[in-house]
């Protein structure tokens, strides 16, 4: 089975801190994604990456950056955490199969609280 | 942009068949439709995927009409454990990868 591991289940940070959320997948997937999920808003795509060092903006990239130095690892960076970034963050990966017929495999999520 | 639209919520009783319809008017010719299920405090998990007509697996069926502007997820004989949020997803190919954007999903509540 594909395993997508997020480094922390719960994280508490202070406003203005630089925050790193790490995600590792063990199935040699080309694609990796970061979403945030807030009550009533569903999952919103922050960034995705389709290859090492390649990244594309999702729907809500403001206030975030990402890093993909190795195929198995995709990091989400909050440059200066703010309270409105308190959320559940979900990482996913998928095997590149063509035009959107890929299947996403999700991690368990990181609940980030910014105080 | 292949945005999806689903009902916000649905209620059902155990043993009934549930059909959740998703609208995706701007779906591109080569794009697939994928459905996910999410329980509280978990990431979504893949249920079923299709391109046209009908697809069936051990969990659900997916019906896609010829114009592909909508799709219907069918859950036969639901149980309490099917209470979850169901998402329909259609990707947008950006030239590099597929931008996979979820809609707000449908909260299905199954009661006795």
Please, which pLDDT band fits residue B92 given cuts at 50, 70 and 90? confident
Q: What is the pLDDT of residues B53-79, one digit of tens each?
A: 999 999 999 999 999 999 999 999 999
**Neighbour tally for A12: CB within 10 Å:** 11
Q: How far does B110 lie from chain A, in Å, by closest CA?
A: 19
Tell me what pLDDT residue B97 has: 79
Closest residue of chain B to A30, computed from CA coordinates: B97
Q: What is the pLDDT of residues A62-111, one digit of tens each?
A: 999 999 999 999 999 999 999 999 999 999 999 876 666 788 999 999 99
Q: What is the pLDDT of residues B12-56, one digit of tens each?
A: 999 999 999 999 998 888 888 999 999 988 899 999 999 999 999
Question: How far is it, in rounded angstroms, from Cα B81 to Cα B78?
Answer: 8
Question: Which chain A residues are within 8 Å of B32, Cβ to Cβ?
Answer: 99-101
Q: Which of A35, A43, A45, A49 to mutate to test the interface with B (most CBs of B within 10 A)?
A: A43
| Residues listed for chain B | 112
Inter-chain CB proximity A35 and B102 less than 8 Å: yes
Q: What is the pLDDT of residues A47-60, one digit of tens each?
A: 999 999 899 999 99
Tell me what pLDDT residue B100 has: 86
Tell me what pLDDT residue A98 has: 65
Please, which pLDDT band fits residue B96 given cuts at 50, 70 and 90? confident
Q: Which residue has the tokens 């931008």?
A: B99
Tell me what pLDDT residue B28 has: 86
Long-range contacts of A100-103 (CB under 8 A, 24+ apart): A100/B30, A100/B31, A100/B32, A100/B34, A100/B90, A100/B91, A100/B92, A100/B93, A100/B98, A100/B100, A101/B32, A101/B34, A101/B49, A101/B51, A102/A31, A102/B91, A102/B98, A102/B100, A103/B34, A103/B46, A103/B49
Mean pLDDT of B1-21: 91
Tell me what pLDDT residue A61 has: 97
Phi, psi (rounded to 5 degrees) for A83:
-60, -30
Question: Which chain A residues are within 8 Å of B27, Cβ to Cβ?
Answer: none
Tell me what pLDDT residue B2 has: 55
Question: Which chain A residues are within 8 Å of B102, Cβ to Cβ?
Answer: 35, 42-45
Tell me what pLDDT residue B62 has: 97
Inter-chain CB proximity B93 and A100 less than 8 Å: yes
DSSP B97: S
């Amino acid at each position: 089975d594909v395993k997508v591991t997020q480094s922390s289940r719960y994280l508490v940070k202070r406003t203005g801190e630089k925050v790193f959320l790490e995600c590792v997948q063990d199935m040699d997937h080309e694609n990796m994604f970061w979403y945030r999920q807030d009550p009533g808003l569903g999952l919103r795509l922050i960034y995705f990456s389709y290859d090492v060092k390649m990244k594309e903006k999702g729907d809500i990239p403001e206030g975030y950056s990402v890093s993909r130095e190795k195929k198995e690892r995709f990091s989400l960076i909050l440059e200066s955490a703010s309270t409105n970034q308190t959320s559940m963050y979900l990482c996913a990966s998928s095997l590149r199969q063509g035009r959107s017929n890929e299947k996403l495999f999700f991690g368990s999520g990181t609940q980030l609280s910014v105080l | 942009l292949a945005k999806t639209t689903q009902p916000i919520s649905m209620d059902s009783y155990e043993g009934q068949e549930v059909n959740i319809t998703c609208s995706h008017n701007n779906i591109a010719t080569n794009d697939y439709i994928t459905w996910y299920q999410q329980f509280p405090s978990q990431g979504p998990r893949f249920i079923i995927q299709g391109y046209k007509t009908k697809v069936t697996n051990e969990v659900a069926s997916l019906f896609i009409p010829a114009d592909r502007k909508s799709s219907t997820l069918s859950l036969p004989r639901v149980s309490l454990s099917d209470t979850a949020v169901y998402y329909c997803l259609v990707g947008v190919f950006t030239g590099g990868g597929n931008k996979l954007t979820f809609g707000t999903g449908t909260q299905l509540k199954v009661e006795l």
